[in-house]
Amino acid sequence: QVQLVQSGAEVKRPGASVKVACKASGYTFSSYAMHWVRQAPGQRLEWMGWVTAGNGFTEYAQKFQGRVTITKDISASTVYMELSSLRSEDTAVYYCARDLVASIMGYWGQGTLVTVSS
């Protein structure tokens, strides 16, 4: 069965960077796109960007342009999301979500809490 297992919680200082991993199993890794979505405390879900299957094209929400980078390591079946220049407003749970088909987020990781605090 499809499983997405994310790396553990992180605590970062303002201005630092964080890199969250999402290890996939149970399917052909290179055949599906992966999204990253975050949720600040008490807030709505927020789409950050995605990396497509195959050629690994990336698209990011304009809000995060210049600060977010999504990469994938096919040999490790892992997708990474790195967010730089962290500020307190970036405190959130970060989720990876695999395409079911055509941009539909059908499978989700368990979430990774990133806390930004001085």
Residues that bind other proteins (CB under 8 A): 35, 37, 44-47, 59, 61-63, 95, 97, 100, 102-106, 108-111
Closer residue to other proteins (CB): 37 or 86:
37
Q: In whole angstroms, what is the distance from residue 103 CA to residue 33 CA?
A: 8
Sequence-distant (6+) residues with CB within 8 A of 2 are 24, 25, 26, 27, 98, 107
Closer residue to other proteins (CB): 15 or 106:
106
Q: In whole angstroms, what is the distance from residue 55 CA to residue 93 CA?
A: 28
Instruction: Give the shortest CB-109-to-other proteins separation in angstroms.
Output: 7
Closer residue to other proteins (CB): 62 or 75:
62
Instruction: Give the shortest CB-16-to-other proteins separation in angstroms.
Output: 25
Q: In whole angstroms, what is the distance from residue 14 CA to residue 85 CA?
A: 7
Instruction: Give the shortest CB-13-to-other proteins separation in angstroms.
Output: 26
Q: From the centroid of its chain, how far is CA 117?
A: 20
